[in-house]
Amino acid sequence: MSEILVLGAGMVGVSTALALQARGHEVTLADRREPGRETSYGNAGIIQVEAAEPYAIPRDLKTLLSFGLGRSNDVSYSLSGIRSMVPALMRYFANSSPKGHAKAAESYSQLTGRASEDHQPLILASGSDNLITREGLVILLRGAQAFDEAAAEAERFKAAYGVQSRIVAGEDWRREEPALRLTPAGAVHYTDSWSVSDPGALTQAYAKLFETRGGRIVTGDADTLARSGEGWQIATSEGPVSAEQAVICLGPWSGVFLRRFGVKVPMVLKRGYHAHYDAPMRPRRPFLDAANGVVLSNMRLGMRMTSGAQLVPQDAAADPRQLRRAEAAVDALIELGPRLEEPQWYGSRPCLPGMLPMLGALPGQPGLWTNFGHGHQGFTLGPTTGTLLAEAMEGAHSPLLDALSPATQLA
Ligand SMILES: Cc1cc2nc3c(=O)[nH]c(=O)nc-3n(C[C@H](O)[C@H](O)[C@H](O)COP(=O)(O)OP(=O)(O)OC[C@H]3O[C@@H](n4cnc5c(N)ncnc54)[C@H](O)[C@@H]3O)c2cc1C
């Protein structure tokens, strides 16, 4: 048993703290804000067991051109954003080759495949079952060709990874989802994914569970982390906190943080936005409107629309053009109703070029561990990678842990 400091209280940090605590360690969780107020707050709230393959950069010229010319609503960018991420984007692009992507998927599918099982005990113990809907995730296709392609991919996922789905023709789907105002070409219904009606509240409920079980949560800036004897120390509102080991779970801020330790982690930060609408009729299940690159999910606050990727510098001002572009098209599909007034939220998917989270011991920094870079699925993967990191800290070895380790990914 040892004293461990977990830096960052998003879904990943909170879940890591819980996993270490469950193994008898004395854990302090530090964040500059309350738990679950950043990326883990504003996402689409899907526990994506269907996401067996990580998101690769498309390599065909047609898709790249549609991104470059701003024709697709999946991606937007600024030149300064692209410039700031060139090395990471180049490595990400190289790893997105069919061979590189298949290799990453071999590890990734082992993570997403167990994600809901890993959430379940925490959902129950934190009294959060009322936030969870177990109705799957839908990919809604407006055109026949897109439907055929999505159906073929679902069949491939079923054969390769055992991901369960139903392929449903547009007319039939409309009968299942009366909120639809027009008939799509069809829907792929991934049946085993779960959705959460308030992702920030689930993260906070897990944090509360950690406290109830004897864990300590403090307010402090990770940038004050310094060596102290054999261990680590940070300054907090309760004074200095020391521990033998520290874990970096700073999500999209992890790359910049590590520069202080001379470690360069190339990261692609894919910013996304959300907005809420007072939709008069809500669909039963969350869905991706594939033609418009937005996800619609039922939230306690309203119908939440989340946008695709925007490649801009981390400190760039809000520019929710992807939400605006999608609004009219989505409204033709389901009546969105009035947009709720709230400050414009945005957050970044912390993506690493290898498309895997970086989890394990940081080379050259004894007692410093990492668990970040969960990209498009960090809300899904928190409890899973938290458990795996706790195992790694106790000396476990496996091909999966090797693939995820900083030693492998930074080589
Ligand atoms: C639009 C959008 C939709 C998404 N939809 C989904 C989805 O449906 N399903 C899914 O699985 N994933 C989704 N994701 C991805 C997911 O939200 C992220 O991968 C995940 O939230 C990352 O969790 P985290 O704990 O690593 O980071 P965060 O939740 O960002 O937590 C990092 C924490 O570190 C703290 N911190 C940072 N710097 C410091 C510092 N210097 N000192 C102290 N504390 C610090 C922050 O305050 C924050 O609390 C989506 C992301 C976006 C942007």
Share of the chain above pLDDT 90, in %: 95
What does the pLDDT read at residue 68?
85
13-56 residue pLDDT tens = 999 999 999 999 999 999 999 999 999 999 999 999 999 999 99
* Domain-embedded: residue 1: yes
Q: Which residues pair with 231 in a beta bridge?
A: 228
* Domain-embedded: residue 135: no
- Burial code (b: 16+ CB inside 10 Å, e: under 16) for 173-209 equals bbeebebbeeebbbbbbbbbbbbbbbbbbbbbbbbbb
125-180 residue pLDDT tens = 999 999 999 999 999 999 999 999 999 999 999 999 999 999 999 999 999 999 99
386-402 residue pLDDT tens = 999 999 999 999 999 99
- Give me the domain span that covers residue 393: 1-51+198-267+353-411
* Predicted structure pTM score: 0.98
Give the residue, out of 39, 193, 221, with the most ligand 1 atoms within 8 A of its beta carbon, to mutate for a pocket test.
Answer: 39
* Domain-embedded: residue 12: yes
* CATH at 221: 3.50.50.60
What does the pLDDT read at residue 324?
95
110-129 residue pLDDT tens = 999 999 999 999 999 999 99
* Domain-embedded: residue 384: yes
Share of the chain above pLDDT 70, in %: 100
Distance 125 CA to ligand 1 centre (A): 22
What does the pLDDT read at residue 291?
96
What does the pLDDT read at residue 71?
87
Distance 251 CA to ligand 1 centre (A): 5
Distance 232 CA to ligand 1 centre (A): 24
* Domain-embedded: residue 159: no
Amino acid at residue number 311: L
Q: Are 77 and 310 in contact (CB under 8 A)?
A: yes
180-220 residue pLDDT tens = 999 999 999 999 999 999 999 999 999 999 999 999 999 99
SS3 225: coil
* Domain-embedded: residue 250: yes
Both tokens of residue 107? 């590890």
What does the pLDDT read at residue 67?
87
Give the residue, out of 49, 237, 250, 256, with the most ligand 1 atoms within 8 A of its beta carbon, to mutate for a pocket test.
Answer: 250
Q: Please give, one letter per residue, the 3-state secondary structure of 295-319.
A: EEEEECCEEEEECCEEECCCCCCCC
Specify the residue with its C-alpha closest to ligand 1, atom 52: 43
What does the pLDDT read at residue 2?
79
Count the Cβ atoms, other than its own, within 10 Å of residue 215: 21
Element (H, E) at 188: strand 186-190
218-251 residue pLDDT tens = 999 999 999 999 999 999 999 999 999 999 999 9
pLDDT band at 1 (very low <50, low <70, confident <90, very high): low
Q: Are 12 and 249 in contact (CB under 8 A)?
A: yes
Element (H, E) at 90: helix 86-95
Spatial separation of the C-alpha atoms in residues 300 and 128, rounded to whole Å? 13
What does the pLDDT read at residue 70?
86
* Domain-embedded: residue 363: yes
Distance 12 CA to ligand 1 centre (A): 8
Ligand 1 binding site (Cβ under 6 Å of any ligand atom)? 8-13, 31-33, 37-40, 43-46, 48, 221-223, 249-253, 272, 274, 306, 347-349, 372, 374, 376-380
What does the pLDDT read at residue 141?
98
* Domain-embedded: residue 40: yes
Count the Cβ atoms, other than its own, within 10 Å of residue 343: 5
What does the pLDDT read at residue 93?
96
Task: Give residue for tokens 């790694």.
Answer: 392
Distance 292 CA to ligand 1 centre (A): 23
What does the pLDDT read at residue 172?
98
What is the tally of structural domains in the chain? 1
Give the residue, out of 258, 349, 355, 356, with the most ligand 1 atoms within 8 A of its beta carbon, to mutate for a pocket test.
Answer: 349
363-384 residue pLDDT tens = 999 999 999 999 999 999 999 9
387: left (phi over 0), alpha (psi -120 to 50) or beta: alpha
Distance 343 CA to ligand 1 centre (A): 18
